[in-house]
Amino acid sequence: MLSMASAALMLPAILLTGALIGACGIGGVLLVPILTHLGGIPLPQAIAAASLSFALPALAAVRPMRRQPELLQRCLPLLGGALLGAAGGALTVHWLSAGSLMLGVMLLVLFAGWRGLRPLDVAATPAAFLSTHSLFMLGAVIGFGSALTGTGGPVLILPLLMLMRQPLPFAVVAAQAIQFPIAIASSTVHALEGRLDIKLALICGVLMLLGSFAGQRAAAALNVAQLQRMVALLLLAVGLWFGWLLLRGS
Protein backbone atom coordinates (compact mmCIF):
# COMPACT_ATOMS: atom_id res chain seq x y z
CA MET A 1 0.00 0.00 0.00
CA LEU A 2 1.44 3.33 -1.07
CA SER A 3 1.77 6.12 1.47
CA MET A 4 0.36 9.54 0.63
CA ALA A 5 3.89 10.95 0.37
CA SER A 6 4.95 8.21 -2.08
CA ALA A 7 1.83 8.69 -4.20
CA ALA A 8 2.33 12.47 -4.26
CA LEU A 9 5.79 11.95 -5.76
CA MET A 10 5.08 8.92 -7.95
CA LEU A 11 1.87 9.90 -9.76
CA PRO A 12 3.11 13.22 -11.24
CA ALA A 13 6.34 11.46 -12.25
CA ILE A 14 4.33 8.81 -14.14
CA LEU A 15 2.35 11.57 -15.86
CA LEU A 16 5.66 13.17 -16.88
CA THR A 17 6.83 9.79 -18.19
CA GLY A 18 3.77 9.66 -20.44
CA ALA A 19 4.47 13.19 -21.66
CA LEU A 20 8.01 12.16 -22.59
CA ILE A 21 6.64 9.12 -24.45
CA GLY A 22 4.32 11.37 -26.43
CA ALA A 23 6.99 13.97 -27.10
CA CYS A 24 9.98 11.82 -28.02
CA GLY A 25 9.09 8.13 -27.60
CA ILE A 26 11.69 7.14 -25.01
CA GLY A 27 10.23 8.24 -21.69
CA GLY A 28 8.86 4.80 -20.84
CA VAL A 29 12.28 3.62 -19.70
CA LEU A 30 11.80 5.78 -16.59
CA LEU A 31 8.66 4.01 -15.35
CA VAL A 32 10.34 1.11 -13.53
CA PRO A 33 12.78 3.42 -11.66
CA ILE A 34 9.83 5.60 -10.64
CA LEU A 35 7.82 2.65 -9.32
CA THR A 36 10.73 1.11 -7.42
CA HIS A 37 12.39 4.18 -5.93
CA LEU A 38 9.52 6.63 -5.54
CA GLY A 39 6.76 4.11 -4.92
CA GLY A 40 8.82 1.53 -3.02
CA ILE A 41 7.42 -1.28 -5.20
CA PRO A 42 9.56 -4.45 -5.48
CA LEU A 43 11.34 -4.66 -8.83
CA PRO A 44 9.62 -7.81 -10.25
CA GLN A 45 6.18 -6.34 -9.43
CA ALA A 46 7.19 -2.98 -10.89
CA ILE A 47 8.30 -4.64 -14.12
CA ALA A 48 5.03 -6.61 -14.29
CA ALA A 49 2.86 -3.49 -13.80
CA ALA A 50 4.95 -1.49 -16.27
CA SER A 51 4.61 -4.23 -18.89
CA LEU A 52 0.81 -4.02 -18.93
CA SER A 53 0.62 -0.26 -18.54
CA PHE A 54 2.40 0.33 -21.88
CA ALA A 55 -0.62 -1.10 -23.71
CA LEU A 56 -2.53 2.15 -23.17
CA PRO A 57 0.07 4.59 -24.54
CA ALA A 58 0.43 2.20 -27.48
CA LEU A 59 -3.25 2.78 -28.31
CA ALA A 60 -2.50 6.47 -28.72
CA ALA A 61 -0.45 5.54 -31.80
CA VAL A 62 -3.33 3.77 -33.59
CA ARG A 63 -4.48 6.83 -35.52
CA PRO A 64 -1.03 7.69 -36.95
CA MET A 65 -0.56 4.04 -37.98
CA ARG A 66 -3.88 3.95 -39.81
CA ARG A 67 -2.57 6.69 -42.08
CA GLN A 68 0.32 4.44 -43.17
CA PRO A 69 -1.17 0.93 -43.58
CA GLU A 70 1.64 -0.28 -45.84
CA LEU A 71 4.23 0.40 -43.14
CA LEU A 72 2.12 -1.24 -40.48
CA GLN A 73 1.78 -4.35 -42.70
CA ARG A 74 5.56 -4.48 -43.07
CA CYS A 75 5.77 -4.44 -39.25
CA LEU A 76 3.78 -7.67 -38.82
CA PRO A 77 6.81 -10.06 -38.71
CA LEU A 78 8.42 -7.72 -36.18
CA LEU A 79 5.29 -7.77 -34.02
CA GLY A 80 5.05 -11.56 -34.18
CA GLY A 81 8.63 -11.91 -33.00
CA ALA A 82 8.05 -9.36 -30.24
CA LEU A 83 5.04 -11.32 -28.98
CA LEU A 84 7.09 -14.51 -28.52
CA GLY A 85 10.17 -12.72 -27.23
CA ALA A 86 8.19 -10.80 -24.62
CA ALA A 87 6.66 -14.01 -23.26
CA GLY A 88 10.15 -15.48 -22.91
CA GLY A 89 11.47 -12.36 -21.21
CA ALA A 90 8.61 -12.32 -18.70
CA LEU A 91 9.24 -15.99 -17.87
CA THR A 92 12.91 -15.21 -17.21
CA VAL A 93 12.36 -12.32 -14.77
CA HIS A 94 11.96 -14.48 -11.67
CA TRP A 95 15.19 -16.36 -12.37
CA LEU A 96 17.30 -13.23 -12.05
CA SER A 97 18.23 -11.35 -8.90
CA ALA A 98 16.93 -7.85 -8.23
CA GLY A 99 20.48 -6.55 -8.69
CA SER A 100 20.77 -8.15 -12.12
CA LEU A 101 17.45 -6.69 -13.21
CA MET A 102 18.42 -3.25 -11.90
CA LEU A 103 21.72 -3.49 -13.79
CA GLY A 104 19.79 -4.26 -16.98
CA VAL A 105 17.51 -1.27 -16.51
CA MET A 106 20.50 0.95 -15.72
CA LEU A 107 22.31 -0.07 -18.91
CA LEU A 108 19.14 0.48 -20.92
CA VAL A 109 18.66 3.96 -19.48
CA LEU A 110 22.30 4.89 -20.15
CA PHE A 111 22.05 3.55 -23.71
CA ALA A 112 18.94 5.62 -24.37
CA GLY A 113 20.62 8.73 -22.99
CA TRP A 114 23.79 8.14 -25.01
CA ARG A 115 21.72 7.63 -28.11
CA GLY A 116 19.84 10.87 -27.50
CA LEU A 117 23.07 12.86 -27.22
CA ARG A 118 24.46 11.27 -30.38
CA PRO A 119 21.68 11.69 -32.96
CA LEU A 120 22.09 9.64 -36.09
CA ASP A 121 22.16 11.10 -39.56
CA VAL A 122 18.56 10.56 -40.57
CA ALA A 123 19.20 12.39 -43.85
CA ALA A 124 21.47 9.58 -45.06
CA THR A 125 20.20 7.34 -47.87
CA PRO A 126 18.05 4.60 -46.27
CA ALA A 127 19.05 0.97 -46.68
CA ALA A 128 16.72 -1.65 -48.13
CA PHE A 129 13.96 -2.93 -45.84
CA LEU A 130 14.99 -5.83 -43.63
CA SER A 131 13.78 -9.28 -44.68
CA THR A 132 10.79 -10.93 -43.02
CA HIS A 133 13.08 -13.35 -41.16
CA SER A 134 15.35 -10.55 -39.94
CA LEU A 135 12.38 -8.52 -38.73
CA PHE A 136 10.98 -11.53 -36.85
CA MET A 137 14.32 -12.22 -35.12
CA LEU A 138 14.80 -8.53 -34.30
CA GLY A 139 11.28 -8.40 -32.83
CA ALA A 140 12.02 -11.45 -30.67
CA VAL A 141 15.19 -9.86 -29.27
CA ILE A 142 13.45 -6.53 -28.61
CA GLY A 143 10.46 -8.26 -27.01
CA PHE A 144 12.70 -10.34 -24.74
CA GLY A 145 14.78 -7.38 -23.59
CA SER A 146 11.77 -5.12 -23.13
CA ALA A 147 9.82 -7.66 -21.07
CA LEU A 148 12.89 -8.43 -18.97
CA THR A 149 13.38 -4.79 -18.00
CA GLY A 150 9.77 -3.55 -18.01
CA THR A 151 10.12 -1.11 -20.91
CA GLY A 152 7.72 -0.67 -23.79
CA GLY A 153 10.05 -1.38 -26.71
CA PRO A 154 10.66 1.96 -28.48
CA VAL A 155 13.77 2.76 -26.43
CA LEU A 156 15.42 -0.36 -27.90
CA ILE A 157 13.99 -0.68 -31.37
CA LEU A 158 14.10 2.91 -32.60
CA PRO A 159 17.87 3.39 -32.23
CA LEU A 160 18.52 -0.12 -33.59
CA LEU A 161 16.43 0.41 -36.72
CA MET A 162 18.08 3.76 -37.28
CA LEU A 163 21.52 2.18 -36.86
CA MET A 164 20.47 -0.29 -39.57
CA ARG A 165 19.55 2.72 -41.75
CA GLN A 166 15.93 1.67 -42.07
CA PRO A 167 13.58 4.34 -43.50
CA LEU A 168 12.61 6.74 -40.70
CA PRO A 169 8.80 6.52 -41.26
CA PHE A 170 9.04 2.73 -40.90
CA ALA A 171 11.22 3.01 -37.78
CA VAL A 172 8.77 5.38 -36.10
CA VAL A 173 5.71 3.25 -36.91
CA ALA A 174 7.52 0.09 -35.75
CA ALA A 175 8.49 1.74 -32.46
CA GLN A 176 4.89 2.75 -31.84
CA ALA A 177 3.36 -0.58 -32.85
CA ILE A 178 5.71 -2.89 -30.96
CA GLN A 179 4.53 -1.69 -27.55
CA PHE A 180 1.20 -3.50 -27.79
CA PRO A 181 2.31 -7.13 -28.37
CA ILE A 182 5.06 -6.72 -25.76
CA ALA A 183 2.52 -5.42 -23.24
CA ILE A 184 0.03 -8.21 -23.92
CA ALA A 185 2.48 -11.13 -23.91
CA SER A 186 4.61 -10.10 -20.95
CA SER A 187 1.71 -9.01 -18.74
CA THR A 188 -0.15 -12.28 -19.43
CA VAL A 189 2.84 -14.27 -18.17
CA HIS A 190 3.23 -11.98 -15.14
CA ALA A 191 -0.48 -12.38 -14.33
CA LEU A 192 -0.31 -16.18 -14.55
CA GLU A 193 2.66 -16.18 -12.18
CA GLY A 194 0.93 -13.89 -9.69
CA ARG A 195 3.19 -10.84 -10.03
CA LEU A 196 0.76 -8.48 -11.77
CA ASP A 197 -0.99 -5.72 -9.82
CA ILE A 198 -3.70 -4.84 -12.35
CA LYS A 199 -4.87 -1.77 -10.42
CA LEU A 200 -1.35 -0.32 -10.37
CA ALA A 201 -0.87 -1.13 -14.06
CA LEU A 202 -4.13 0.61 -15.01
CA ILE A 203 -3.26 3.70 -12.95
CA CYS A 204 0.13 3.89 -14.67
CA GLY A 205 -1.40 3.25 -18.08
CA VAL A 206 -4.09 5.92 -17.77
CA LEU A 207 -1.62 8.50 -16.47
CA MET A 208 0.83 7.72 -19.27
CA LEU A 209 -1.93 7.86 -21.88
CA LEU A 210 -3.00 11.31 -20.66
CA GLY A 211 0.60 12.43 -20.49
CA SER A 212 1.27 11.04 -23.96
CA PHE A 213 -1.46 13.15 -25.54
CA ALA A 214 -0.13 16.21 -23.70
CA GLY A 215 3.43 15.40 -24.80
CA GLN A 216 2.37 15.08 -28.44
CA ARG A 217 0.80 18.52 -28.30
CA ALA A 218 3.72 20.08 -26.46
CA ALA A 219 6.29 18.60 -28.84
CA ALA A 220 4.60 20.29 -31.78
CA ALA A 221 5.41 23.67 -30.22
CA LEU A 222 8.97 22.87 -29.05
CA ASN A 223 12.37 22.68 -30.68
CA VAL A 224 12.73 18.91 -31.18
CA ALA A 225 16.54 18.95 -31.01
CA GLN A 226 16.52 20.78 -27.67
CA LEU A 227 13.82 18.47 -26.30
CA GLN A 228 15.80 15.39 -27.33
CA ARG A 229 18.94 16.71 -25.65
CA MET A 230 17.07 17.55 -22.45
CA VAL A 231 15.51 14.09 -22.26
CA ALA A 232 18.86 12.44 -23.02
CA LEU A 233 20.50 14.29 -20.13
CA LEU A 234 17.64 13.24 -17.85
CA LEU A 235 18.10 9.60 -18.85
CA LEU A 236 21.84 9.76 -18.24
CA ALA A 237 21.21 11.27 -14.79
CA VAL A 238 18.79 8.43 -13.94
CA GLY A 239 21.27 5.84 -15.20
CA LEU A 240 24.05 7.28 -13.04
CA TRP A 241 21.65 7.33 -10.07
CA PHE A 242 20.95 3.64 -10.64
CA GLY A 243 24.68 2.96 -10.77
CA TRP A 244 25.13 4.72 -7.42
CA LEU A 245 22.31 2.65 -5.90
CA LEU A 246 23.92 -0.56 -7.15
CA LEU A 247 27.30 0.40 -5.74
CA ARG A 248 25.74 1.40 -2.43
CA GLY A 249 23.91 -1.92 -2.18
CA SER A 250 26.95 -4.06 -3.02
> What is the C-alpha separation between 240 and 112, in angstroms, rounded?
13
Reduced DSSP (H G I as helix, E B as strand, rest coil) percent helix, strand, coil of the chain, to 5: 80, 0, 20
Phi/psi-derived region of residue 38, left when phi > 0, alpha when psi is between -120 and 50, beta in every other case:
alpha
Least confident range of 36-45, 82-91, 235-244? 235-244
Highest mean pLDDT among 108-117, 161-170, 199-208: 199-208
What global pTM score does this model have? 0.79
pLDDT digits (tens, 9 = 90+) for 88-104: 988 887 787 767 767 87
Q: Where are the domains of the chain?
A: 4-249
Question: What DSSP element (H or E) covers 184?
Answer: helix 179-192
Q: Can you say how many angstroms the Cα of residue 142 is from the centroid of all Cα atoms in its chain?
A: 10
What integer pLDDT is reported at residue 78 of this predicted model?
94
Q: What confidence category does residue 208 fall into, taking pLDDT thresholds of 50, 70 and 90?
A: very high
Compute the average pLDDT of residues 13-26: 83
Q: For residue 84, is pLDDT > 90?
A: yes
